[in-house]
Amino acid sequence: MPTVPVLVAVIHAWLHLPLVLGVMGSPPKNLPSCLNGGAQNISEERYGCTCVLPEMDRQCKLTRVTVGGAPTELLYGPLSVTLNRTHSFRIGLQYITNDPTGNGTLLSVRNASKQAQISFFLIAGRPGFLINLNRYALIMQFNGTVAVTNDNAWHHLDLFLEADAQGKLAVYFLLDRCRNSAAALCQLHKTVDTSPLSFEFGPTVQLGAEPGATLKSFDGCLDKIMINEEVLDFYGVLWQQPSKRGCQKAEQGCKQGDKKVCGPYGMCHNALSATDMLTCLCYPGYKPNASPPLNPDRWPCERASVPWSTTAAEYNARFVDIVPARVRVSIRTRKMTFTALVVASWNLHLTVNYGIPKLRLGAVTIELKKVNVSDGNWHLYEIGFFPSFIEIQIDGLDKDFYRASRVSHSPVKSGPADLVIARDADGACLDDAWVDFDSNWRNIQHDYPLEVIANPWYARHTDWPVQGRQQSCSAGISLCNSDPKPPCDPSAVCVDEWRGYRCDCIAGMKMNPKGICLPEQCVPNPCAHGACNATTMDKNFTCTCDTACLDDAWVDFDSNWRNIQHDYPLEVIANPWYARHTDWPVQGRQQSCSAGISLCNSDPKPPCDPSAVCVDEWRGYRCDCIAGMKMNPKGICLPEQCVPNPCAHGACNATTMDKNFTCTCDTGWTGDLCEQRGVAEAGFAWWWILLIVLLIILISEKDFTGSIDYSVFQPGFKLPNGHQRYTPDRMTNGSATQVVLLE
- Domain range for residue 531? 516-549
What CATH number should be reported for the domain holding residue 232? 2.60.120.200
- Please indicate, yes or no, whether residues 320 and 213 belong to a single structural domain of this protein: no
Is residue 569 included in any domain, yes or no?
Answer: no
- Please indicate, yes or no, whether residues 105 and 219 belong to a single structural domain of this protein: yes
Is residue 457 included in any domain, yes or no?
Answer: yes
Whether residue 261 contacts residue 300, with contact meaning beta carbons closer than 8 Å, is answered with yes
Alpha-carbon separation of residue 705 from 133, 201, 711, 712 (angstroms): 66, 67, 9, 10
From CA 302, how far away is CA 496, in angstroms rounded? Answer: 31
- The last residue of one of the domains, among 673, 706, 731, is 673
- Please indicate, yes or no, whether residues 396 and 327 belong to a single structural domain of this protein: yes
| Buried-exposed string 336-352: b where 16+ CB fall within 10 A, e elsewhere | ebbbbbbbebbebbbbb
From CA 637, how far away is CA 613, in angstroms rounded? Answer: 9
Of 123, 134, 273, the closest CA to residue 197 belongs to 134
- Please indicate, yes or no, whether residues 114 and 178 belong to a single structural domain of this protein: yes
Looking at residue 426, its pLDDT comes to 75
Instruction: Identify residue 466 by its one-letter amino acid code.
Output: V
- Please indicate, yes or no, whether residues 315 and 176 belong to a single structural domain of this protein: no
pTM check: above 0.75 = no
List, run by run, the mean pLDDT of 10-residue segments along the chain (743 residues): 31 33 64 93 83 93 95 94 94 96 96 95 97 90 93 94 94 90 88 91 95 92 96 96 93 87 90 79 86 76 85 55 77 89 82 94 92 92 91 96 92 65 78 70 55 50 51 83 87 89 90 89 89 80 79 62 59 58 59 78 82 86 88 86 87 77 84 70 44 50 36 36 36 36 34
- Please indicate, yes or no, whether residues 240 and 360 belong to a single structural domain of this protein: no
- Please indicate, yes or no, whether residues 321 and 178 belong to a single structural domain of this protein: no
- Please indicate, yes or no, whether residues 158 and 236 belong to a single structural domain of this protein: yes
DSSP letters, 337-390, are SEEEEEEGGGTEEEEEETTEEEEEETTEEEE-TT--S-SSSEEEEEEEEETTEE
Of 267, 263, 284, the closest CA to residue 17 belongs to 284
- The last residue of one of the domains, among 636, 651, 673, is 673
Is residue 692 included in any domain, yes or no?
Answer: no
- Please indicate, yes or no, whether residues 197 and 108 belong to a single structural domain of this protein: yes
- The last residue of one of the domains, among 232, 247, 262, is 247
Is residue 668 included in any domain, yes or no?
Answer: yes
Looking at residue 256, its pLDDT comes to 86
DSSP 3-state assignment of 245?
strand
Q: How many CB atoms lie within 10 A of CB 570?
A: 13
**How many domains, the chain?**
4
- Please indicate, yes or no, whether residues 94 and 243 belong to a single structural domain of this protein: yes
- Please indicate, yes or no, whether residues 409 and 328 belong to a single structural domain of this protein: yes
- Please indicate, yes or no, whether residues 325 and 433 belong to a single structural domain of this protein: yes
Is residue 80 included in any domain, yes or no?
Answer: yes
Is residue 345 included in any domain, yes or no?
Answer: yes
